Amino acid sequence: MSRFEIKAKDGLSRLGVFTTTHGKVTTPLFMPVVHPAKSVISPSSLVEEFGFQMVITNSYIINSKDKFKAKALDEGVHGLLGFDGPIMTDSGTFQMYIHELPEEEIDPLEIVTFQREIGSDIGTILDVFSDPKVGRLKVEQDMELSLERAQMSVGEKGEMLLAGTVQGGVYQDLREKSASALASMDFDVHPIGGVVPLMERYRYADVVRAVLASKKHLPVDRPVHLFGCGHPVFFSIAALLGCDFFDSASYAKFAEAGRMLLPSGTVHLEQLRELPCECPVCSTTTVENLKGLSKDKQDLALMKHNLYITAAEMRRVRNAISEGKLLELASARARSHPSLYEALQVLMDSYDQIEQMDPVADGTSIFYTGPETARHPALIRFHKKLMDRYPYRKTETLVMIPSRGSRPFSDTDPTIIDEARKRKPEELILLFVTPMGAIPWELEHVHPAQQCLFPDRIDEFTMQSAQKRLQQFIDSVSFKSGVWLSRDAPTDKLFEGINALASIDRVAGASDVKKRLPEPRSEIKDWTARKMTALLSVQWGISEVSRMNLDSMDFTFSRATGKLRHVSRNGEILFTVVPSTGLLTPTYKGGLEILSAGVHEDYIVKMDEDAAEFVAKGKSALAKFVAHANSELRAGEEVLVVDTEGELLGVGRAVLSGSEMMAFNRGVAVAIRHSKRP
């Protein structure tokens, strides 16, 4: 049974809670490596002074030293370390590799049994570490042996949680094969092994490929552990990949070498003129004092500095996940070294894999950081929904307005928007051309249309992406004539790249646009219905909006912003528009409306009979009671929760994606807003 529960997401990252015998921990988390004899900072101090939640130690070292082994068997590993918090133990795989120990040095079954006997919260199998210098055949043999040992070991875990390590070197197909095989076994955590030499050689791009290949096949309800990742500069990228656990002894090893970890890289104490951070060590001494300490005292001071920096960066990562800002943090860290930037580019090349797990945003702004912003999951999702679901595809006139999107379109283009309000979509489609792509007027407030902040100078890749998305939209619309309002915006240059069958005139002002528009053929009673049709179609994939009888609905607008706030009928609210996202949240009555209108199956979550009564009373829909959820459902979407007969129980916000709802047996699947019996 899974011990993992997701609280928030961003990209592939998960802000979660993992339950162990000795307490719960919040992910992503870093586990300092603790040597049973050499650690000068106790595990308790690591928790109390630095804020770490779990430690990792080596069961091979404990088992190979009689004095450690006897005490561990008598008092448990927690008694040996003098620590009552969660402890993970490694099996000695890395020591076998580093010291070139003979294969018979460690018995794979005995070491798992030993970890269980000493009370480890999470034990680890004895896998086979492949040197990056060996060829594919040797790596494949190592991987197969690791899988054999995994199959043998999993039956020995008892009540202990067990980690099954993914191997496969730099070969993505072998990583996928390893992960797929391990997924069918009863493991609780999945480390990605064999990556330390890659990180030491700055081959971060290869680490990214290895993790992504593994993540494709690992169960979503099991945490992923990036073995040996100890440098804060890589935490944000690794978390964005979906790594939940990190561990390393780098904090001590770097200190012994006179090196200081920073979120932006590593510095050597001897080369410093001043101390570079505000941690308790650096803020209470000087570089001269540090250099003048004895070796032991200097090592301890640098070790503490490294731990403070490591803990702070992990907190920063968790905050970024909760705020939907992890990509921006990872982008900033990637500028610290060319190899990190290459790793980020490789990661963003897999934008489809990221988008599948990335939650629908709650209105968080998206800051431009470089070419990677063009492949932000929110931008990709918006464009895909636009192309698949935008209901208006034929018009007489297509008007395009280049814009940076930094101000509300209603402020910058009120004259032309007023003309759009007078006409049906068959007469006029109004399109804003931004660096994120094409934004139809009806969707001007839908996230991330006006939550993306771009500068005036934009890189070529982003402009090419905007050009491609614009062209795809133009190709999907049939129009007789086009008008391009030229203005001082970075996207104005995209006009030169348009390939259209119909003629498109480039004009200089709003008055010139009006001159090219035919008079409205009929008076529009309420232009809001036009926007509602587009919004209902794009948000929920409703193909028969006409069933909802929009003409009978009343619309309330904000006095301050002029934005739509509420949609009601006969005095009863059906929908509320979230100001930060421009999306609709239905009441129970609104849910009935969209259910009868043919909402797309992606947005229907079916519950077991055992949970139906609770959900109908407004209780959260728990993952373990979800009978069916479509794999295309994304976390953050507004969904309908029904019983096995299809009767609406409630409406709410999906906390998990559809695939996660089906996989997890812990946590909330849908946070119910309105229910059948409030």
- Residues 69-91: tens digit of each pLDDT: 999 999 999 999 999 999 999 99
Residues forming the active site: 90
In this structure, is residue 585 part of a structural domain? yes
In this structure, is residue 359 part of a structural domain? no
Closest CA to 94 of 214, 248, 206: 248
pLDDT score at 407: 79
pLDDT score at 458: 96
CATH of the domain at 191: 3.20.20.105
More confident residue, 408 or 233: 233
- Residues 349-383: tens digit of each pLDDT: 999 999 999 999 888 999 999 999 999 999 999 99
In this structure, is residue 363 part of a structural domain? no
pLDDT of 653 strictly over 80: yes
Predicted model pTM? 0.95
Same domain, yes or no: 493 and 562: no
- Residues 620-644: tens digit of each pLDDT: 999 999 999 999 999 999 999 999 9
pLDDT score at 561: 84
Q: Is 63 left (phi over 0), alpha (psi -120 to 50) or beta?
A: alpha
Percentage of the chain modeled with pLDDT above 70: 100
pLDDT score at 219: 97
pLDDT score at 141: 97
In this structure, is residue 137 part of a structural domain? yes
Cα–Cα distance measured from residue 599 to residue 595, given in angstroms and rounded to the nearest whole number: 5
Mean pLDDT of 298-317: 98
Same domain, yes or no: 10 and 82: yes
Same domain, yes or no: 409 and 440: yes
Mean pLDDT of 278-293: 96
pLDDT of 197 strictly over 90: yes
pLDDT score at 523: 79
Helices (H) and strands (E) in the chain, counts: 25, 30
Closest CA to 214 of 224, 202, 205: 224
Same domain, yes or no: 144 and 111: yes
Mean pLDDT of 124-149: 96
Examine the fold and report which residue of 354, 389, 405 is the final residue of a domain before the chain moves on. 354
Per the structure, the complete domain to which residue 282 belongs is given by: 4-354
pLDDT score at 598: 93
Same domain, yes or no: 169 and 122: yes
Q: How many separate domains does the chain show?
A: 3
Mean pLDDT of 232-237: 98
In this structure, is residue 533 part of a structural domain? no
pLDDT of 2 strictly over 80: no
H or E, element range at 204: helix 204-215
Same domain, yes or no: 349 and 390: no
Sign for the CA dihedral angle at 462, 467, 468, 474 comes to: positive
Examine the fold and report which residue of 478, 499, 515 is the final residue of a domain before the chain moves on. 515
CATH of the domain at 609: 2.30.130.10
Same domain, yes or no: 21 and 169: yes
> DSSP secondary-structure letter at 130?
P
pLDDT of 229 strictly over 70: yes
pLDDT score at 472: 97
Q: What is the average pLDDT score of the chain?
A: 95
Same domain, yes or no: 311 and 450: no
- Residues 501-552: tens digit of each pLDDT: 888 999 999 999 999 999 998 877 789 999 999 999 999 999 889 889 998 9
Same domain, yes or no: 393 and 319: no
Strands (DSSP E) along 435-471, which ranges? 437-440, 452-453
Same domain, yes or no: 296 and 444: no
pLDDT score at 615: 97
pLDDT score at 1: 59
In this structure, is residue 290 part of a structural domain? yes
DSSP letters for 11-80 = TTEEEEEEEETTEEEEESEEEEB--TTT-SS-HHHHHHTT----EEEEHHHHHHSHHHHHHHHHHHHHHH
Same domain, yes or no: 297 and 326: yes
